[in-house]
Amino acid sequence: MSKRKTRIALATLGVLSLALAGCASGGNDGGDGDASQNTLEKAQESGSITLAVASERPYSWVEGGEPTGATIAMHKQIFKNLGIDDIKVEEVDWNSLIPGLTAGRWDVVSAGMSILPDRCEQAAFSDPEIMYTTTLAVPKGNPQGLTDLDSVAKKGDVTLAVQSGAIEEGYAKDLGISDVVKVDSATAGLEAVQAGRADAFALTAVSLNWMTKDSDALETTEAFVQVIDGVEQIGAGATVFRPGDKELLEAYNEELAKITGDEQNYLDLVEPFGFTAENLPPADLTTEQLCSGDLG
Amino acid sequence: MNDDQVIWNWDHALAVLPDMLWAFLTVTLYVTLLGSLIAAVLGLIIALARKTAPRPIAGVLTFVMNFIRMTPLVVQLLFAYYALTAVPPLTLGILIFGIHYATYMAEVYRAGIDAVPRGQWEATTALSMSRGRTWTAVIVPQALRSTLPALGNYVISMFKETPFLAVLTVTDMVRAAQEYGGTNFRFMEAITMAGILFLIASYPTSLLIGRLEKRLVYTT
Amino acid sequence: MTDNIEALQRALPHVLDGLLITLQLTVAGALLAFVVAIGLGLLVRFENILLRGFARTVIEVFRGTSLLVQLFFLFFVLPLPPFNIELPPLVVGILGLGLNYGAYGAEVVRGSINSVSRGQWEATTALSLTRTQRMWRVIFPQAWALMIPSLTNLLIQLLKGTAVVYLVTIVDLTAELNKLRIDTDVFFAYSLGLVIYFVIAYILTIAMNALEARAKHRLGQGTRLREAVAAPTVDTEGDVS
């Protein structure tokens, strides 16, 4: 009888210890410590902050265990100036970026997400960081002779791959392109074109040019700025925070201004990743402007 | 943390419904029904083959069947997606689900066949029935009776595993919820609605299967 | 082929980490599922309508919604108001797996307890055993031997279920396979993965069969070890799922 009791006790201990091990290894991201501390203060105190990326080269991805990319480079400098040296990175699929942010799984989304009016209602964007244009990745030789999204819409029987939740998906819908394949990541989109599941993949020019530069199978069309209903869709990417983290946003924007105000500083950080002075946002472009839909 | 965010926003809950119901009809139900059909038929073929084929072939078949049955559906889906690039994702999903569940069904059929009383077999020998007729006229119909509830349970199970189709970039209900969350930045309502839809679909069905089971047990 | 082997060697530490996570999820998830199954399986037999109703509701909710929905809910929704509970990803995985498969297990437990022959129940009344003694010493040991095959099936299902946790940022074996695929090729990475899962499943099955053989032994219903080593079978109800 005592043998059985011992076994039960051991089993319970086993379950508990495994559970605790899970908690310990996962780290304490819950609202522990001082509840009155905001995210910025917590990050500064612990010296570390968690970013989420969607493995979109060359904005942000993880290579050989190390986070790298243009937005990562900027973030490393900005957070270092704020006293936060340790950058932790979570690689997730695009659609999980914001739900995870809202749920507190990470504090920052570092994926050059476009500032759009609908998104502004639910999340806090930093000041614009990267201007970008769109392009299509197609099989080498461009068999369908595509130039931009309008040509895709016009041609009719072209299968277009877009990243699920990204701005190009919206463009495709507005242009009435119905034959669409939605992928989780930039790599998946390229794989789709390579495998013949899609005829073209639409994403930012910087990404696709970077990712296909050594490719034998794929090439990109010339970069363009999508026009919808006569309005040029000026694409500006920024970092995303939770609406409640106002202090973090302010501190971030302050440091960001130091980089975007100094062209040389900006280029030093992003040029290794294929960005140029053209990607630097104009000084008069504000987040409020983009959030209100005023693209003129 | 988020003082300006409401807990539950009915607008979002309703807005996500059209996409989700569409995904439900065109993907979730579609794949479940076709997949189950394939599983039921293929499973029977496998079970019969295992019983009637010569030992070595049956042995190999058994091994392959067990291998597929005991390894994750998700990995099989991923494998198929990246290997068979010419096949459209939805078809691929139906095939892999069908094959995977066929291995479950084959085991159920086997148990059903084994449960047919010895007397039946002996009677067919006494009546000098050919092997073919023995199987088709006597054994299989009796074996099938008892497997109907099992088939029902596996249909429900497949229904609930359809979210795995997301790894094939096929938009099922859960992925529709994810996409809504990705575009509109509100995930809570979307995923809860998906859960509710699942519950609405599977709970009554499992009650029905339970009833069916009781009735069949009675008549056997 | 040699390139693949080289790439595998380089990736081996990561793959082993992923494997460890998968095993942790499986074992911890199984233990939690077991506790939940017994708990709910017994609760649902109580006379008290509140307890029974509670257990029944929990069982039907977790059986009726998909594992992925549950994982997403635990991961993305629980941290939000009104719950405000933020759990580390691994705990989310264990909790999701444990609750989902525990709910199925509860049905198995309930069914097995019901299958113990009436005579046994009557005998306990004749011997004036208390309710606890009845369950603990007579009914449950017999039900235990009956439920092991079905629980084994659930255990294998759980193992297969762990493959989906990579969608809530847990870096398990499947997540590592996905990365390996990029460095090697589709066939190599996923075939290797399937073989690993198969080996784990087979070992678990043999372990559970040995457990069943022992349970039956203690009841005086021995089986031969040879039968114990066969692959798990499914009975005509096709229970579990």
Cβ proximity of B32 and B101 under 8 Å: no
Residue A53 covered by a domain: yes
Task: Give the tens place of pLDDT for each residue, A100-153.
Answer: 888 888 889 988 888 888 788 778 888 888 888 888 899 888 888 888 888 888
Contact across the interface for B85 and A196, Cβ inside 8 Å: yes
Judging contacts by C-beta atoms under 8 Å, the chain B residues touching residue A104 are: 1
Q: Give a three-class secondary structure readout of B19-66.
A: HHHHHHHHHHHHHHHHHHHHHHHHHHHHHHHHHHCCHHHHHHHHHHHH
Distance, CA of C38 to CA of A194 (rounded, Å): 51
Indicate the residue of C27, C35, C86 with minimum beta-carbon distance to A104: C86
Those of residues 24-63 in B touching chain C at CB distance below 8 A are: none
For residues C90 and B101, give the distance between their C-alpha atoms in angstroms, rounded to a whole number. 29
Q: Do A83 and A112 lie in a common domain?
A: yes
- Name the DSSP letter for residue A104: T
B150 CB within 8 Å of a chain C CB: yes
Identify the pLDDT of residue B73: 93
- Distances, alpha carbon A287 to alpha carbons A227, A277, C116, in Å: 20, 20, 69
**CATH number for the segment(s) C2-228:** 1.10.3720.10
A160 and A118 housed in the same domain: no
Tens digit of each residue's pLDDT (9 = 90 or more) over A247-269: 888 888 888 888 888 888 888 88
**In a domain? residue A51:** yes
- Token pair, residue C226, equals 């040879």
Per DSSP bridges, beta strands A130-132 and A124-125 are unpaired
Closest alpha carbon within chain A to C76? A103
Report the C-alpha gap between A263 and A277 in whole angstroms: 7
Tell me the pLDDT band of A29, cut-offs 50, 70 and 90: very low
How far apart are alpha carbons A25 and B163 in whole angstroms? 28
Does B191 touch chain C if contact means CB atoms closer than 8 Å?
yes
pLDDT for res C25: 93
A112 membership: H or E segment, kind and range: strand A108-114
Judge: B182–A181 Cβ closer than 8 Å, yes or no: no
- Residues ≥6 apart with Cβ < 8 Å to A69: A53, A57, A58, A59, A60, A61, A110, A273
Q: How many CB atoms lie within 10 A of CB A150?
A: 16
The SS3 assignment for B79 reads: helix
Q: At what angle do helices B73-83 and C186-218 cross, to 10 degrees?
A: 160
Q: To the nearest 10°, report the CA torsion of B185, B186, B192, B193.
A: -90
Q: Which long-range contacts (CB under 8 A, 24 or more apart) does B79-83 make?
A: B79/C186, B79/C187, B79/C190, B79/C191, B79/C194, B80/B168, B81/B167, B81/B168, B81/B169, B82/A191, B82/C181, B82/C186, B82/C190, B83/C186, B83/C187, B83/C190
Q: How far is B93 from chain A (nearest CA, A)?
A: 15
How many domains are there within chain A?
A: 2
**Whole-number Å distance between alpha carbons of B53 and B81:** 32
- CA angle, C101 then C74 then B98, to 5°: 50
B195 CB neighbours in chain C (<8 A) are 65-66, 69-70, 73
pTM of the model: 0.81
Give the up-direction half-sphere exposure of residue A100: CA atoms within 13 A in the CB hemisphere: 27
Are the beta carbons of B80 and A197 closer than 8 angstroms?
no
Q: Is the per-residue pLDDT at B102 higher than 90?
A: yes
Q: What is the DSSP letter of A85?
A: -
- The answer, yes or no, to whether residue A33 has pLDDT greater than 50, is no
Closest CA to C150 of C96, C110, C204, C105: C105
Subunits with 3+ Cβ pairs within 8 Å of B are A, C
Mean pLDDT for back-to-back runs of 10 residues, chain C (241 residues): 78 88 93 92 85 89 90 87 83 94 89 82 86 81 83 90 88 86 80 93 91 82 58 47 33
C78 → chain B, closest CA residue? B188
Count CB pairs under 8 A between chains A and B: 66
**Domain termination site, one of A224, A253, A283:** A224
pLDDT tier, A15 (very low <50, low <70, confident <90, very high otherwise): low
Which of A172, A202, A224 is a domain's end point? Answer: A224
ipTM score for this prediction: 0.81
C194: nearest Cα among B61, B82, B77, B47: B77
Residue A170 covered by a domain: yes
Nearest Cα to A182, choosing from A158, A163, A207? A163
Domain holding A91, by residue range, is 39-130+235-291
Beta strands A160-163 and A227-228, pairing class? unpaired
Nearest CA in chain B to A183: B169
For residue A46, what pLDDT is reported? Answer: 85
Check residue B66 and give its pLDDT: 92
Listed residues A178, A193, A224: the one ending a domain: A224
Paired sense of beta strands A48-53 and A61-63, if any: unpaired
Q: How many Cβ atoms from other residues are within 10 Å of residue A282's Cβ?
A: 11
pLDDT in tens, C43-79: 888 888 888 899 889 998 998 888 999 998 898 888 8
Classify residue C224 by its DSSP letter.
-
Residue in A closest to C10 by C-alpha? A64
Amino acid in position C225: L
Do B202 and B138 form a contact (C-beta atoms < 8 A)?
no
pLDDT, position C70: 92
Compute the mean pLDDT over every residue in chain A, rounded to the nearest whole number: 81
Say whether both A161 and A286 belong to one domain. no
Does B195 contact C65 at a Cβ distance shorter than 8 Å?
A: yes
B140 vs B154: CA distance, rounded Å: 20
User: Domains in chain B, start-ordered, CATH in brackets?
Assistant: 17-219 (1.10.3720.10)
Instruction: Indicate the SS3 state at residue A87.
Output: strand
**Is residue C155 within 8 Å of C28, Cβ to Cβ?**
no
- Per the document, the length of chain C is 241
By C-alpha distance, the chain A residue nearest B167 is A184
Is pLDDT of A83 > 60?
yes
pLDDT at A4: 67
CATH of the domain at A283: 3.40.190.10
| A94–B182 C-beta distance less than 8 A | yes
Q: Is the pLDDT of residue A26 over 60?
A: no
Overall residue count recorded for chain B in this entry: 220
The Cα–Cα gap between A212 and A275 comes to: 15
Which residues of A are less than 8 Å from B2 in CB distance?
102, 242-244
Q: In terms of C-beta distances under 8 Å and separation of at least 24 residues, what long-range contacts does C228-233 make, across chains too?
A: C231/B66, C231/B70, C231/C202, C231/C205, C232/C149, C232/C152, C232/C153, C232/C156, C232/C205, C232/C208, C233/B107, C233/B110, C233/B111, C233/C149
pLDDT above 60 for B207: yes
How far apart (Å, rounded) are the C-alpha atoms in residues A170 and A91? 24
Chain B CB within 8 Å of residue C69 CB: yes
Residue of C nearest to A63 (CA): C179
Residue A12 belongs to a domain: no
Q: Measure Cα distances from C20 to C14, C15, C26, C191 in Å.
A: 10, 9, 10, 19
Mutation target vs C (from A4, A7, A13, A15; most C CBs, 10 A cutoff): A15
CB contact under 8 A, B104 and C234: yes
pLDDT reading at A21 higher than 70:
no
Tokens of C62: 């977790």
Answer yes or no: are the C-beta atoms of C142 and C62 closer than 8 Å: no
C82 touches chain A (CB under 8 A): no
**H or E element: which one contains C139?**
none
Cβ–Cβ contact C192 with A under 8 A: no
Q: Which residues contact B33 (CB under 8 A, 6 or more apart)?
A: none
| Token digits of residue C20 | 């460890």
